[in-house]
Amino acid sequence: MQLTLWTYEGPTHVGAMRIATAMEGLHYVLHAPQGDTYADLLFTMIERRNKRPPVTYTTFQARDLGGDTAELFKIAARDAYERFRPQAMIVGSSCTAELIQDDPGGLARTLGLPVPVVPLDLPAYQRKENWAAAETFYQLVRAFAGPHAPPPGTPRPPRAAGVRASCNLLGATALGFRHRDDVQEISHLLGRLGVDINVAAPLGARPSDLARLGAADFNVVLYPEVAGTAAAWLGRIFGQPSVKAVPIGIGGTCDFVTEVAALAGIDPAPILADLPSRLPWYSRSVDSTYLTGKRVFIFGDALHAIAAARVASEELGFQVVGLGTYSREFARDVRAAAKLYEVEPLISDDYLEVEQTIAAAHPELVLGTQMERHIAKKLGVPCAVISAPVHVQDFPARYAPQMGFEGANVLYDTWVHPLMMGLEEHLLTMFREDFEFHDAAAPSHLGGGLERREEPVAPASAPIGPAPIGPAVAAPTVAAAGGAATWAPEAEKELGKIPFFVRGKARRNTERFALERGVAVITVETLYDAKAHFAR
């Protein structure tokens, strides 16, 4: 039993829904109680889809449990076929139905429906949404491409001369973070390279399209969290290699172009010679100097987190001070990436732990999911969203891919936007007492909306304010054993002049410095002694 406030991933059947909803001509019959129909709103409200997800829920009730829930399932499956006439169906259980063990796959078989029915076994009490999306896609790929597999051991025939190379574009789902735009961007890039797309799936594909997957020369796995399992199977059965590079950021996209070109037998040089992205120049332009060494904490699914770390570090000159993921399945990759930046990897889906870790790292920017947006808001730190789970505002009306060269532009804009602009930040540091530059001031281009909160300037033990009237109490010169030092009012005031995002750290460092040296009252001198000490 795990105490959970907020979850990064939904239940397994939501993973299956993301596949079903992405595809055309596929219908999902889900054995589930009525409350589970909430999942529809993920697609209709959060993603703003204009159609109901192609899902029929049996919505059994307590009074059915003694009776015949299996019959209820059969009726629902038969009705769903009659009404929607899909090319194929998937059937399965939600967490509650798993406990009553009705075997939707077996029941559906007895109906003799005239279309293929793929049963899903998605253990609800062991697994989560992303695993289940991958498993569902894999089962569908197997079911539809499998019958077209060559005999085992057949070598892949070489592509005929003069025929353009082709690939499958795999992994985009419904409710995916910018999947729709990424598919468009990468399709465009592949087109410029001269590579055809055989099938893009699951997003936009029909079951009959999956049957044609084997015809491609290789696979582009946009989202390994979803398509990794299927691509590995296609590799084994059809001898199709997969492109490993993730086309996020300039470096990632160039690596991707190089890898695709090698598989397709194409010269990448013309594309690489003239990158259609402003990120490299924007990042080198002088205004971006202030981005140097900005402390950034990154958390998300493994794919986006690892890619974001690279972009942050190599392309924006940030300092990565934290890197983590909730995708335990990809923990190894994230650990390896964390080594590059010499940070402790955070592998956790415990919201409270993520919150604590972020707070302790004192970042100046957080790149995360919608959960981290709330954490950052609480800490008064700017934030940009880089990964699912996301909310309705992360499905923008405009074209905003994360991948490819246009994606790099989007990353530059969305990560830099929440920050102070260069000169503005300098002025803020120099003239802290200006009424417009108080701590709650947001970057001027963001209006007044950004909330900034932080620990109070005054520690509880030494409230500042009008000096107490009356005989001054002689300040003790040695700290009581184990007791924390108190702040002299001028030192407290000086501390207030330090930018808010490093002030917490400055306070702690100074107090530690004072404690170690037995200084009872922190003066302005102590503050600068500590600063010098820690600067070494």
| Neighbour tally for 201: CB within 10 Å | 28
Q: Which of residues 172-191 bind other proteins (CB under 8 A)?
A: none
Site for other proteins in 107-146 (CB under 8 A): 123-126, 128
Tell me the β-bridge partners of 119.
Answer: 91
CA distance 140 to 19: 10
Nearer to ligand SF4, 94 or 357 (CB): 94
Q: Give whichever of 36 and 372 is closer to ligand SF4, judged by the CB atom.
A: 36
Instruction: State yes or no: residue 76 binds other proteins (CB under 8 A).
Output: yes
Are 55 and 20 within 8 A, CB to CB? yes
Residue 261 to residues 9, 11, 380, 464, 528: CA-CA distances in angstroms? Answer: 35, 38, 45, 65, 56
- Please tell me the distance from the alpha carbon of residue 294 to that of residue 321, in angstroms, as a whole number: 9
For other proteins, the closer CB: 62 or 286: 62
Distance of CA 180 to the CA centre of its chain: 15
Bond before 389 cis per omega within 30 degrees: yes
Q: Which of 23, 27, 58, 485 binds other proteins (CB under 8 A)?
A: 58
β-bridge pairing 319-325 and 345-347: parallel
CB of 418 to other proteins, least distance (A): 18
- CA separation, residue 130 to residues 36, 338, 363, 420 (Å): 18, 22, 28, 36
Q: Which is nearer to ligand SF4, 33 or 317 (CB)?
A: 33
- 136: number of Cβ within 10 Å: 29
In this complex, which beta carbon is closest to other proteins, that of residue 6 or of residue 437? 6
Write down the least CB distance from residue 13 to ligand SF4, Å: 6
Candidates 346, 371, 388, 519: give the one binding other proteins (CB under 8 A). Answer: 371
Could you say whether residue 92 binds other proteins (CB under 8 A)? no
Contact of 20 with 26, CB cutoff 8 Å: yes
Nearest distance from C-beta of residue 378 to other proteins, angstroms:
6
Minimum distance between the CB of residue 10 and ligand SF4, rounded to whole angstroms?
8
Which of 79, 267, 287, 434 is labelled catalytic? 287
- The dihedral formed by the CA atoms of 28, 391, 310 and 332, expressed in degrees to the nearest 10: -50
What, of other proteins, ligand SF4, none, does residue 42 touch, CB below 5 to 8 Å by kind?
other proteins
- Rg of the chain over CA atoms, in angstroms? 28
Q: Which of the listed partners (ligand SF4, other proteins, none) does 417 bind, with a CB threshold of 5 to 8 Å by partner kind?
A: none
Structure tokens given for 208:
């009959």
The yes-or-no answer on residue 287 being catalytic is: yes
Matching residue, tokens 């793929």: 118
95 versus 197: smaller Cβ distance to ligand SF4: 95
- What is the C-alpha separation between 332 and 315, in angstroms, rounded? 24
Write down the least CB distance from residue 388 to ligand SF4, Å: 16
Which residue matches tokens 């490093």?
502
61 touches other proteins by CB under 8 A: yes
Region near other proteins per CB under 8 A, out of 11-19, 222-230, 244-252, 516-524:
11-19
Q: Which does 67 bind (CB under 5 to 8 A by kind): other proteins, ligand SF4, none?
A: none
Report whether 139 contacts 208 (CB < 8 A).
Answer: no
Q: How far is the CB of 356 from other proteins (least distance, A)?
A: 12
Could you please report the per-residue DSSP string of 129-153?
HHHHHHHHHHHHHHHHHGGGPPPTT
Span interacting with other proteins, options 52-60, 174-182, 436-444, 494-502, rule CB under 8 A: 52-60
Answer for the pair 189, 247: CB distance below 8 angstroms, yes or no.
yes
Nearer to ligand SF4, 13 or 178 (CB): 13
Chain residues binding ligand SF4 by CB under 6 A are 11-13, 33, 35-36, 94-96, 124-125, 128
Choose from ligand SF4, other proteins, none: what does 51 bind? Cβ within 5-8 Å by kind: other proteins
Which residues 202-261 are close enough to bind other proteins by CB under 8 A? none
Least Cβ distance, residue 13 to other proteins (angstroms): 8
Nearer to other proteins by Cβ, of 99 and 440: the residue is 99
20, 28 contact by CB (below 8 A): yes
Task: Provide, rounded to whole angstroms, the least separation between the CB of residue 451 and other proteins.
Answer: 11
Decide: is 41 part of the binding site for other proteins (CB under 8 A). Answer: yes
Q: Please state the φ and ψ torsions of residue 414, each to the nearest 5 degrees.
A: -75, -25
Q: If contact means CB under 5 to 8 A according to the sort of partner, which of other proteins, ligand SF4, none does residue 286 touch?
A: none
CB of 427 closer than 8 Å to CB of 205 = no
Output the CA–CA distances (angstroms, integers) from residue 468 to 225, 457, 463, 487, 488, in the order listed.
Answer: 62, 18, 10, 15, 13
For binding to other proteins (CB under 8 A), which residues are involved? 1-7, 9-11, 13-14, 33-42, 44-46, 48-52, 56-62, 64-65, 76, 79, 83, 94-96, 99-100, 123-126, 128, 370-371, 374, 378, 391
The set of catalytic residues is 287
